[in-house]
Amino acid sequence: MWFVYIIECQDKSLYTGITNNLEKRFKDHLAGKGGNYTRSHKPKKLIYKEVVSSRSAALKREYQIKRWPREKKLHLIKP
């Protein structure tokens, strides 16, 4: 099982990533061991997660979401 996730950073920016262990990956981001972006834009909270069937599907979905404007990403996370 793979996840596509979005983190809100302290500066209100959004970070999108993938993982097969969401809890560990978020802890890595908090500890400064995540992606380069979250080292300089401190993560605040996990605001979205989506389960996908494979790494390939996760990469495709991540790429799709990363190309969206901020407003569309925010619309995605609203219930």
| Ordered domains of the chain (ranges, CATH) | 2-77 (3.40.1440.10)
pTM of the predicted model as reported, rounded to 2 decimal places: 0.94
What mean pLDDT is predicted for residues 39-58?
Answer: 97
How many whole angstroms separate alpha carbon 52 and alpha carbon 60?
10
pLDDT surpassing 80 at residue 79: no
Residue 78, pLDDT score: 83
| Cα 45–Cα 75–Cα 26 angle in degrees, nearest 5 | 20
How many whole angstroms separate alpha carbon 76 and alpha carbon 79?
8
How many whole angstroms separate alpha carbon 55 and alpha carbon 42?
26
Residue 15, pLDDT score: 97
Which two three-digit tokens encode residue 8? 């809100």
Residue 6, pLDDT score: 97
Interstrand relation of 2-9 and 14-19 (parallel, antiparallel or unpaired):
antiparallel
